[in-house]
Structure 1
Amino acid sequence: MTTPHSSFSNSFVLQRALLKPLGAVMLALCATVCATQSHAADLPVLKVGDQSLQTRGILEASGQLKDLPYKIEWFNFPAAQPLGEALNAGAVDVGGLGDAPLVFALAAGARARAVAATRSNPLDLAIVVGAHSPLNDAASLKGKRIATTRGSIGHYLALAALKKAGVPVSDVTFVFLAPADAKAALASGSVDAWSVWDPYTALGEARDHDRIIANGVGLSEGLSYQVATERAIADKRVQLADFLRRVAIGQRWALSHPDEVAAMQSKVTGLPTDVLKTVYQRGQVHPVAIDDSVVAAQQRTADTYEAANVIRAHLDVRTSFDRSFPLP
């Protein structure tokens, strides 16, 4: 016959038997979580600057952010100028800049070098006007006000387009604004044209029926770079090399998967999927090796800025490249 005492005793033993493995499991789980958190905390950090989350969107969509042996801290910028300033200040380790913004950043004293390059079809680089504007080409910009971001690829395009059309720079008024402010100025009529790049170009065409009166074909080299600080090149070389490899793989993948990239980019940025699909389809961004032709093209860009007094001194771009990161 079982007594209340023996019943209590058996129940206590049973609970101890059940709790013992449960406690072991909890301890093991805690150890795993703590070890994971400790491991994550111990991972080196690469600080990456991005523009309109374009690099991150490609890496996310192509699966290149999986199994990173380091941690990425993302810093998003609306245009190249503030990203260049962040590189100059050492606030980011690496970031994407167009050829003209790289010249502008280097002229400002940035201790950074181009470590990877891409070419694109510069259809995405354009001078746009409102839907009902009477302007129809670069020559018609004489006497007009052109919005752009100082030192940007838009600034470069405007200078090159005016030169080709035979319009002296002194015959136009540049209004230097961030993209959001430039768009508002164009919409309100405070400026006559806006020299800009995708995704802003595509968004303006789709949403506001802006018209392109000139694009970068035949005027822009179509070059962009991943630019790293000299400190990052020295101190985070392993992480930087891995990141550049993943970016190149992602860019090649994106060429044949515009729908997937646009869908992922839309989730990240909130921009319409159809607009982003236009961006990727017409840009055709693809990685290229940093060779003598790339360096020569970059020198032409620097010389154009020098001739227009955007930069005050001659810049020899050869020292602004690091060719030690091979193209995968």
Structure 2
Amino acid sequence: MRRFTLALVSTLALLGALTACGGGEKAEGGGEKLRVGYQRFGGQSLVKARGASPGSTWSLFESGPALTEALKAGAVDIGQTGEAPPIFAAAGRTDFKIIATSQPVPEGEAVLVKEERGFKGFKDLKGRKVALNKGSNVNWLLVKLLEANGMTIDDIDVKYLKPAEARPAFDNDQVDAWIIWDPYFSLAQRPGVQVLADATGLANNREYLLASPRALKDKPELVREFVRVYREVTDWGIAHPEERVKVLAPELGLTEDVAARALERSARPLAPVDAAIGAEIQEIADGFTELELIPGKVDMKSRIDDRFTDLLK
């Protein structure tokens, strides 16, 4: 088994991402603001697009690992990721708490291939080049796909590529398959592209809301208000799918049909965290440790913080 080290986002890339999205920590009237890290999808994007959290500033990240690097650097207070980034972040000694999650979204991540290649199942990718973003939720999906098909990581040629790198590599046949999540998944779907497998029956693919302990201590009212609004706006979007698409498509830079496809399968209600959620993410962490994807065991159960359960039930 090859030994893998943690993926690190360079300081310049991190600073560039933060600079691009801007925003200070002070409100126009001088009050303190909550610094939110978000990805271009999910309920947080809807909160931003609707202007529903004026007590926040926003920084955009391409993936969960990039967001957790910002959390480690103290550049954001709170942010949402998939299930794997918190584990890689914990292994990298990032201090955070998991304060909310979502209902499972297994249909929201998948293995994409070209129909013309004739692949019928994941086993057909043995010896082939498979692209994915290291440390993201799809990293766990890969582990479960290999396990389900009696394969190991050495049976495929893994190419760790960020979405912006993986899409052209997939389009130009530089890789044979791409394991990706929405909305990149939806954006890549077109005639000739086949969904070889998704996470159904393999991984829950939840979202997790992470907060820095310092923000929980120093900005408790801002964090609580953000969680309340996040839940409220997410519920509104699920109840009003057509309006949600019209609000989110411009924010995501997607056409309405692409946004609608992604949201229909991937938008899920928020949920509170509890011991069962802690056990679930601990199982994933233990799997990464066993496969030497992270350097040693990490305690994810201790990261669970259920103080906002009353807002999420």
Say whether the 8 Å CA contact 1:128–1:212 is kept in structure 2: yes
Give the structure 1 partner of residue 36 of structure 2.
48
Q: 1:324 is matched with which residue? A: 307
Cα distance, 1:327 vs. partner? Answer: 3.9
- Normalised by the length of structure 2, the TM-score is 0.87
Unaligned runs of at least 5 residues, structure 1: 1-37
Alpha-carbon contact 1:138-1:161 (below 8 Å) kept: yes
Partner of 1:236: 219
- State the partner residue of 2:200: 217
Distance in 2 (CA, whole Å) between partners of 1:151 and 1:136 is: 27
- Looking at structure 2, the residues matched to 189 and 64 of structure 1 have their Cα atoms a distance apart, in angstroms, of 42
Rg bigger for which structure? 1
Matched-pair contact (CA < 8 Å) for 1:54–1:265: no
Q: Partner of 1:203 in structure 2?
A: 187
Matched letter for residue 326 of structure 1: T
Residues 132-189 of structure 1 show CA distances to partners (whole Å, capped at 9, x for unaligned) of 2222211111111111111111111111111101111111111111101011111111
Indicate if the aligned counterparts of 2:98 and 2:211 stay in contact, CA closer than 8 A. yes
Quick check: 149-158 or 277-286, which moved more? 277-286
- Partners of 2:281 and 2:27 in 1: CA distance: 42
| C-alpha separation in 1, matches of 2:276 and 2:267 | 19
Matched, 1:269 2:252: yes
1:158 maps to 142
**Residue in structure 2 matched with residue 174 of structure 1 by the alignment:** 158
The structure in which a higher percent of residues are helix is 1
Change (3 A) 1:63 1:82: closer
How much is the aligned-residue C-alpha RMSD, in angstroms? 1.8
Aligned CA distance change for structure 1 residues 204 and 99 (closer, same or farther; 3 Å): same
What is the deviation of 1:54?
3.5
Shift of 1:120: 3.1
Which residue among 103, 108, 111 is the counterpart of 2:95? 111
Amino acid at match of 1:173: D
Q: Any gaps of 5 or more consecutive residues in structure 2?
A: 1-25
Where 2:28 maps in the other structure, the secondary structure is helix
- For 2:265, the equivalent position in structure 1 comes to 282
Q: Per-residue deviation at 1:124?
A: 1.2
Change (3 A) 1:43 1:297: same
| Preserved CA contact (<8 Å) 1:248 1:327 | no
Displacement of 1:193: 0.6
TM-score, length-scaled by structure 1? 0.83
SS at match of 1:49: strand
| Structure 2 CA distance for aligned equivalents of residues 187 and 61 of structure 1 | 30
Aligned match of 1:96 = 80
Query: How many angstroms does 1:301 deviate by?
Result: 1.2
1:64 aligns with 2:45: no
- Distance in structure 2 (CA, Å) of the matches to 1:211 and 1:327: 42
Q: State the distance in 2 between where 1:148 and 1:222 align.
A: 15
Alignment partners' CA distance in 2, 1:258 and 1:95: 23
Code of the aligned partner of 1:57 = S
The question of whether the paired residues in 2 share the 8 Å contact of 1:198 and 1:279 is answered with: yes
Deviation at 1:195, TM superposition (A): 0.7
Q: Write the distance in 1 (CA, Å) between the matches of 2:208 and 2:217.
A: 18
Distance (whole Å) between structure 1 residues aligned to residue 231 and residue 102 of structure 2: 9
Q: What residue number does 1:309 align with?
A: 292
Q: Secondary structure at the match of 2:148?
A: helix
Tell me by how many angstroms 1:315 deviates. 1.4
Distance, in Å, in 2 between the alignment partners of 1:326 and 1:237 is: 15
Percent of aligned pairs with the same amino acid? 28
Aligned length: 286
